[in-house]
């Protein structure tokens, strides 16, 4: 479904992503794990078009998206829920969801908003509230709900567990699993490798801009080097 080949990304003189290749198949949950600064978020930003790869290609459902502007990539069915949630804090909960549906037909938006409210009832109670006043967990739910509004085929989630209490982390991961069962392919970036691997089918380990290991989640969970580096073993 998504195929990244030989991605090289630079921030000025800094070579942040050094020729990585990976793919995500339809229906999978794939996770990119790695330490801070390994290049996980950069990879996602390059797929969604906010950053550019100097070489190689990015194809989504057979279409080359490497040089497409971000707003076109959204239309093709990729939703990117960015790190730190990045909700529009001065807009209401409902307006945030409307923004998520920016590429959709206006008549589809109200039923889609109701569908998001069904999944996240807390948001419904706060629909007219300014989003900046929500708690961290609610903001994460809003960010995910906003991502769902565009009916993505592939959802890229960047650190959804960041800064959340353990109980909320479980809840968020349970929702990710449900979304996947409902047919959305997931590309998940996490520092919480244990949690990510527990729901993912496959994982890639990123280290300073390179993929050092790629395997099924079960294998990675057992891998002693991965355990040592990322799983606190």
Partner 1 sequence: MTFLYQVINGLQVGSIYALVALGYSMVYGIVNLINFAHGDIIMVGAYCAWLAMMKWGAPPWISILFAIAFCTVLGMTIEKVAYKPLRKSPRISLLITAIGVSLFLENLAQLVFTANPQRFPTIVTLPSIQLGSRQLSATTIMTIVVSVFFMVVLSFLVNKTKMGKAMRAASEDEATAQLMGINVNHTISFTFAIGSALAAVGAILYCSAYTQLSPLMGVMLGLKAFVAAVLGGIGSIPGAMIGGLVIGLAESLTKGYISSQLADGVVFGILIVVLLIKPTGLMGRSMNEKV
Our CA dihedral for 180, 184, 188, 192, rounded to 10 degrees, sits at -20
CB of 178 to partner 1, least distance (A): 22
Burial class of residue 131, CB neighbours in 10 A (0-12, 13-18, 19+): buried
CB of 198 to partner 1, least distance (A): 26
Residue number, 39 or 82, with CB nearest to partner 1: 82
List residues binding partner 1 (CB under 8 A): 48-50, 69-71, 74-75, 79-80, 82, 84, 86, 88-91, 95, 98-100, 102-103, 106, 132, 136, 139, 146, 150, 163
Angle between helices 109-119 and 136-148 (to 10 degrees): 140
Residue number, 99 or 214, with CB nearest to partner 1: 99
Residue number, 106 or 183, with CB nearest to partner 1: 106
Residue number, 144 or 220, with CB nearest to partner 1: 144
CB of 225 to partner 1, least distance (A): 32
Residue number, 25 or 135, with CB nearest to partner 1: 135
Residue number, 150 or 217, with CB nearest to partner 1: 150
């Amino acid at each position: 479904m998504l195929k990244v080949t030989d991605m090289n990304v630079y921030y000025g003189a800094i070579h942040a992503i050094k020729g990585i290749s990976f793919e995500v198949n339809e229906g999978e949950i794939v996770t990119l794990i790695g330490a801070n600064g390994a290049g996980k978020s950069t990879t996602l930003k390059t797929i969604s078009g906010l950053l550019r790869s100097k070489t190689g290609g990015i194809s989504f459902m057979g279409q080359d998206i490497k040089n497409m502007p971000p707003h076109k990539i959204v239309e093709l069915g990729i939703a990117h829920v960015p790190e730190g949630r990045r909700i529009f804090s001065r807009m209401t909960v409902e307006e945030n969801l409307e923004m998520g549906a920016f590429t959709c037909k206006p008549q589809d938006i109200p039923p889609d908003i109701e569908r998001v409210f069904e999944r996240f009832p807390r948001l419904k109670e706060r629909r007219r509230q300014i989003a900046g006043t929500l708690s961290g967990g609610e903001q994460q739910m809003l960010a995910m709900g906003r991502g769902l509004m565009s009916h993505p085929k592939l959802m890229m989630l960047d650190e959804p567990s960041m800064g959340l209490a353990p109980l909320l982390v479980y809840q968020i991961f349970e929702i990710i699993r449900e979304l996947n069962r409902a047919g959305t392919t997931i590309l998940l970036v996490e520092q919480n490798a244990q949690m990510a691997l527990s729901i993912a089918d496959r994982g890639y380990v990123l280290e300073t801009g390179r993929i050092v290991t790629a395997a099924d989640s079960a294998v990675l969970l057992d891998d002693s080097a991965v355990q040592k580096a990322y799983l606190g073993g």
